[in-house]
Chain A
């Protein structure tokens, strides 16, 4: 019992650390570890993953909020799209064929991995235009953060709000319909589409993930998919890992985070694509 609990805590620390740095829920890493390595039934692995998303989100954002990297207005503004998407996803179950969704979203992630590689090569700076985007100004989405790796205050603007909003709606549908955490889509929407710097993008993604996951988590809780002996040690490990990860992330360069993010994004995209083809 104690060995099992300690193993789960260790897995949690790792998942929380990675999730907090990259702005991902960690479900994509956790589900295979739990099912393949720990022999957990897929039903309980999914239940544990959803708790993991919340633990990552809450663990990461208690550190972020203090350090003011995340953008709360962007989070709440885009959360409307994500929650509406999740709602549509739940209602569309059985109407849309998951096969094509997996293929579509897989390709979308592969495409954004490609975009991120281009961005890495061009060494793109922070968006700071003479005439800020009208919608971004109207909704007060432009903001500022202190980058501890670069040791300077970075003011940034965002653009293409409708594009980001649409992508978030898609992310919501994906999580509602396919039951996947959608951190990868959220970071892509903010970083690639709205041109928000990477660090505010990953930390804002972390905050949003928890809010979206809370709605589905209660369903899993009451239908018995959440086993306490799995979820509790995992969540405790993740809380520690995510708190450490969010502190660590501030001292990493955005370039370095992007370098780890790209292969993870490509992996998730490829996995979804292959899953869609096989269905």
Chain B
């Protein structure tokens, strides 16, 4: 019997399972960081920052992390969570490439580029 090429839905099944695994690891990592932060906050009762303030940029978060401040750890967890959908787009590009689906490599790369432009426009605004 002639070997028939995999149909589209079977190919997609492989891609989706792979993406699912990577995405799951990403979600578990960000959730774990958030859990460590909030448990530490509840146990110590201190956020590590005066009053109602919290770190909002990388250098503040980085310094807070070295000192093991609960709010810094929590913000890092949130930032990792924000990255999980972006991670999904990146992994999708790779898996479409593995499938030799050029059209969808282009489409998904376009999505990533537009996302990046949105980000730049958003930060400037």
Contact = CB atoms under 8 A, between A and B. Distances in A.
A217 interface: yes
B122 interface: yes
30 contacts: A51-B78, A54-B81, A54-B82, A54-B84, A58-B23, A58-B26, A62-B27, A65-B20, A66-B16, A73-B104, A79-B111, A83-B115, A83-B118, A87-B114, A90-B122, A143-B9, A176-B118, A211-B88, A211-B115, A214-B84, A214-B86, A218-B82, A219-B119, A221-B78, A224-B56, A226-B56, A227-B54, A236-B35, A236-B38, A239-B27
B79 A221 contact: yes
A218 B85 contact: no
Contacts of A229: 41, 47, 54, 71, 74
A54 B82 CA distance: 7
Contacts, number: 166
Contacts of A61: 20, 23, 88
Interface string B24-54: 1011000100110110011001010000001
Interface string A164-196: 000000000000100000000000000000000
A125 to B, nearest CB: 20
B13 interface: yes
B78 A80 contact: no
Nearest to B85: A210
Nearest to A59: B27
Nearest to B107: A76
Contact of B122 (A68, A218, A224): A218
A272 to B, nearest CB: 23
Nearest to A8: B38
A222 B124 CA distance: 11
Contacts of A87: 114, 117-118, 121
SS class, residues of chain B in contact with chain A: helix
A235 B34 contact: yes
Given A2-B42, A5-B42, A214 B83 contact: yes
A207 interface: yes
Nearest to A69: B16
B114 A232 contact: no
A91 interface: yes
Given A80-B114, A214-B115, A58 B92 contact: no
Nearest to B31: A239
Interface residues of B, number: 56
Contacts of B41: 1, 229
A90 B123 CA distance: 11
Contact of B111 (A70, A80, A231): A80
A215 B119 contact: yes
Contact of B78 (A1, A59, A232, A239): A232
Contacts of A140: 8, 101, 103-104
Given A61-B88, A68-B12, A55 B81 contact: yes
Contact of A72 (B57, B92, B117, B119): B92
Contacts of A59: 27
Contacts of B123: 218-219, 222
Interface in A223-278: 223-224, 226-229, 231-233, 235-236, 239
B12 A73 contact: yes
A228 B71 contact: yes
B37 A228 contact: yes
